Structures are given as structure tokens and as C-alpha cells.
Amino acid sequence: MNISRQNIYILSLSVVLLSFVLIFSFAVLIPNGKEYRLKRADLKKEYKKLKQLSDFSYETSTILQKLQSEHRHIITSFDTPFTANRFEKQHRSYFSSLKLSKLQKKENEDNFSVYEVNTTSEISSPKSFYNFLEAVNKSDWIVAVNFPINFKRDGEMINSSFTMKVYSNNKDKVKDSNTSGNL
């Protein structure tokens, strides 16, 4: 059999190129393709996980917004720094006179800052005090009227003294209220 030199060259080149194609395909392309498929599946899972997380975030955000709108007054009350002057201004109508002492920091309760203020006041009848206790629940702060409460008759008037606990967020937001105006 007589094969020309040129044919031998072509055949050799074909074998070399074919080998390259085969080696490249099996050694590089196929593993890369497998990796691509795996990564695509992984990514799909990641997307699914992200969507679940995103949905959960949306749900949490909705709950938070709902809570914020439902309890706006309470949230604002905890954020509002207590000022004796403003308190007196808001509640002077229930008393003939109202005097608040300086705020004193007390031990935190349930992770909230607690301040105590002593109050001396003069009322014309116990009804004024009942009205005050109703109004204090609607005030700009979270205020608990606390024991001891003392009522003492003084002619036609009743002198009353009691302590109040003011609750606020656990930050040093409450202004140092050294104002104790006598109305």
C-alpha cells in the first residue's frame, strides 16, 4: 500500500487534533459542564432560600408596622423625656396646687429605666384625685402612681402626697428635671 507523505501528514494532524478535542472535552468541558449544572441547582436552592427569607422579612416588617401603629401612643410615651413643668401643665387642672420633686433614678425594671418623683398636691375633693388617676394613663409618659399615698385634711382642702414612677426606654433620655414649679 502506497500512502503519500501528504496523506501521512494529514492523518497525523487529524489524529493530533482529534486527540486534543477528545482530551479537552473529557478533561475540561464535561467536568465544567457538570459543575455548571450543580452550581445552577445550588443557585436555584439559594434563590428559594432567599425568597423564603425575604417573605419572612416582609411578614416581620408587617407585624412591626402593625404593632407600631397600634401602640403609637405607648411607644412615644416611652421615648418622651419626662419634664416636670410639662407634667404640671398637663395635670394642674386636677389640683389646687401641684409640686414635683427632682427626679431620682431607680433600679431598672424589665430593662426599662425607672425614675421616681415625689409629689405634693392640694385637692378640693377625692374626685379630683380619681380624675387625675384616669388622666395619668393618657399622659405623654408611662407614669405609675405609687405608694405611700397620704391624704391629710387641711380645712376645706386635702393635702395629698404620693410618689410616681416614670418609665422610659433604657437610655439616659429623661432630662434632669430640677424644676419643681408651684402652681
Partner 1 sequence: MRYSYIKPRKKTALSKDMQLLFTFFGVTLFMLFLTYSFLVFKDYRFDQTRAEILQEEIDLRKNIQEMKVKIALIENQNILSERVYTKNTVLKDSIHNLFDLVPGRITLSQAKIMENGLVLYGVTPNKDIYNFMLQAPLRSIFHRTYSSFYPLENGWFRFVSTNYIDEESSDEYK
HEC secondary structure over 65-103 = HHHHHHCHHHHHHHHCCCCHHHHHHHHHHHCCEEEECCC
Question: In the bound complex, what is the minimum distance in angstroms from residue 61's beta carbon to partner 1?
Answer: 6
Residue 102 near residue 94, CB atoms below 8 Å: no
Question: Shortest approach of partner 1 to residue 27 CB, angstroms?
Answer: 11
Q: Which of 82, 69, 57 lies closest to 171 in space, CA to CA?
A: 82
Shortest separation between residue 136's beta carbon and partner 1, angstroms: 6
Which positions from 85 through 144 interact with partner 1, judged by CB under 8 A?
109-112, 126, 129-130, 133-134, 136-137, 142-144
Of 8, 28, 89, 173, which lies in the binding site for partner 1, with binding defined by CB under 8 A?
28
Residues 115, 163: Cα–Cα separation, whole Å: 10
Selection from 145, 135, 148, 138 nearest residue 165 by Cα: 145
Residue 181 interacting with partner 1 (CB under 8 A): no
> In this chain, which of 26, 46, 108, 179 binds partner 1, going by CB under 8 A?
46
Interface residue with partner 1, options 99, 145, 157, 183 (CB under 8 A): 145
CA–CA dist 83, 70 (Å, integer) = 25
CA atoms within 13 A of residue 59's CA, in its CB half-sphere? 6
Q: Which residues bind partner 1 (CB under 8 A)?
A: 6-7, 10, 13-14, 17, 20-21, 24-25, 28-29, 32-33, 35-36, 39-40, 42-43, 46-47, 49-50, 53-54, 56-57, 60-61, 63-64, 67-68, 71, 74-75, 77-78, 109-112, 126, 129-130, 133-134, 136-137, 142-145, 147-153, 165, 167, 169
